[in-house]
Structure 1
Amino acid sequence: MTYFNLFSNILIAKGANRILISDLQRNISELYPLELNDLIEELKVHSVEEVMQLYDNESKELLQKYLDFLIEKEYGFITRNNWDKNFPSFSKEFHDYSIISNIFLELDSLTVLDKIKSCIESLGIKHIVIYCKRILSFDEIVEIDKKFKNSSLESIEIFLKFDNSINKKLIQKLNQNTQRIHSIIFYNCKKIPFKINDEFKFIVNFTQQDLKISSCGKINLDYFNTNLSKSLRSL
């Protein structure tokens, strides 16, 4: 009998339609069909041969392709006679001293930030994601950053509707005048206005999608950074 062993540094987060496999050693995450998770779960309790016996010949070919894929991606390895017991699993406990670690906010007027600032401080919130349907000026973006000066907030992620005033010079000014901006995603951008290099202290992304509020919170690997804390938070 042969057995599939999942490496302990591989974490899987199961969603409604897909799974996210995170390689914590390489700091890489990738999305796959939900059925791949079903196979991995079966291989945790049955040998490869026992799993194959549960399916017809056509399905066996697909299962073999999935198995070969898992080996090729180095998500796991094959042993004979039994599973390898030399790879203890990671602790999946997640600790955060904040009562609430992050919040999502649909922003129309900056005055709402004044209303919730005290709550953010008292709850020890460290991260905020802001979605805005309208175009924000340079001064408004800087003002958002300044409102949380001397607060517990560590990072601000902003989804903004793109307009033609956005250029490299403006982003450079934001880079010089903000402290807590972690990333800005400009949506509904038909053409990227300039080449993005790693020259800013925050992440800048452009997307052609006309994002709605329902789009926020969905996993997009363009904006997803793999690390242990984020992976444990998703489990």
Structure 2
Amino acid sequence: MTTTCGCCQRKLQLLMIIPCGHLCCADCIEDRYTEVGASCFFCKEVYEPEVFQELQPGFDFREVDDSSKENNSTTNTSGQQKSSGCQVVQGSSQSQSPNRHYWTVDASKIFYAAARIRELKKEFAHRSACLGSNQPKKARYVKVIIFSQFTEIIWRTKLAFEQQKIPTANFITRVAPKARMRALKRFREDPSLNVLLLSEMGSHGLDLSFVTHVFLMEQIWDKSLEQ
């Protein structure tokens, strides 16, 4: 399975996740970093390299200073030289295996949630149709929360849902407070917006009594948080 790089349009099996949510290949990330620094090729949003690194398990994103580049150019016997200011290096096979397994487990949960949400939308639409226009009872819409305590998982879920054409409201880390509240308001009022991505930061103090379903992406040991 391949995905198109949003920058160079090449179809590749592996792309990097930029903190703003866009997908880009390692070569384009490297070129962009060299030319203008750490920023998105599409929306131009600036990001911290450390934040970018958190979203790439199994890969090492590091800056390369001039002295190291000079040493590389003199010792590289293959004739290939790196002139960029950063490198995205794939980790060893030993360190990658746990990450690959970890992501496989997460991916299965994410795509199960996406499939189940589609089923729920059909079920609720069928119920509304059965009520008929003469029924006084107000139609109820699917309102689903996807909750994770981990930033990486919630952002991977966001990207996967975008690829599956499932819009989401995002009450998660790295989203501005005002934007989070606007997203929550829209999630509450818009019948076509069925999914709210929620991280631990939004797990307290919100009135979510209108929600119909909650998907927990991992086991929660703190029972007060689960409630």
TM-score by length of 1: 0.23
Larger radius of gyration: 1
Going by fraction, where is strand more abundant, 1 or 2?
1
TM-score by length of 2: 0.23
